[in-house]
């Protein structure tokens, strides 16, 4: 598989852990995707739209022959098959699958922006990402991940 990507998973409705684990199974089952590494599962305080229940978040590393857009399509299909519900845009959801990084590419389109535009302000993404790759460099971020994690005020919201 010639491409490397990092995917963030999140859930805060229903059997959250089951949604995450089923999503990873479906990703692994895809013939053109291999799951290379998975972070721990973190329980996290909601950020942004805070009037909702706690999330379970994690990050996985995958290798794939798919383009970033085809990978996005597969992830969106998995969200739908795991009864993705999102009544409010930033509100509670059964499952969220976000492409964080795709190789070291910068992709800016209506459909997909990579690196994920809000990842640098999300401890619930950076902490699991750092767990599985301490030395990862993010094209749009100069500082080391550990510095940013230390600066994030909500890191205590991740456990
Ligand atoms: N802790 C936490 N807060 C969040 N706020 C939003 S929106 N989301 C959904 C992100 O796509 C989350 C999340 O996954 N975890």
Q: Is residue 16 predicted with pLDDT exceeding 90?
A: yes
Would you place residue 128 in the very low, low, confident or very high pLDDT band (cuts 50, 70, 90)? very high
Is 55 close to ligand 1, i.e. is its CB under 6 Å away?
Answer: yes
154 classed as catalytic = no
| Cα-to-centroid distance, 58 and ligand 1 (Å) | 11
Instruction: List, in order, residues 6 or more apart from 149 with CB less than 8 Å away.
Output: 123, 126, 127, 130, 155
83 classed as catalytic = no
Is 64 close to ligand 1, i.e. is its CB under 6 Å away?
Answer: no
- Predicted model pTM: 0.93
Is 19 close to ligand 1, i.e. is its CB under 6 Å away?
Answer: no
Closest-CA residue to 154 (of 107, 122, 132, 106): 122
Q: What is the average pLDDT value for the chain, to the nearest integer? A: 92
More confident residue, 145 or 27: 27
Mean pLDDT of 6-24: 97
Q: Give residue 150's pLDDT.
A: 86
98 classed as catalytic = yes
Mean pLDDT of 43-63: 93
């Amino acid at each position: 598989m010639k491409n490397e990507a990092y995917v963030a998973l999140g859930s805060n409705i229903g059997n959250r852990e089951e949604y995450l684990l089923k999503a990873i199974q479906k990703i692994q089952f895809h013939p053109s995707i291999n799951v290379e590494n998975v972070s721990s599962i973190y329980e996290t305080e909601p950020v942004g739209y805070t009037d909702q229940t706690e999330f379970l978040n994690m990050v996985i590393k995958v290798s794939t022959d798919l383009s970033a857009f085809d990978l996005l399509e597969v992830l969106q299909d998995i969200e739908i098959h795991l009864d993705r519900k999102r009544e409010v845009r930033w509100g509670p959801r059964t499952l969220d699958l976000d492409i964080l990084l795709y190789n070291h590419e910068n992709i800016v389109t209506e459909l997909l922006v990579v690196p994920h535009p809000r990842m640098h302000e999300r401890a619930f993404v950076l902490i699991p990402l750092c767990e599985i790759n301490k030395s990862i460099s993010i094209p749009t971020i100069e500082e080391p991940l550990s510095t940013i994690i230390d600066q994030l005020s909500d890191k205590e919201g991740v456990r």
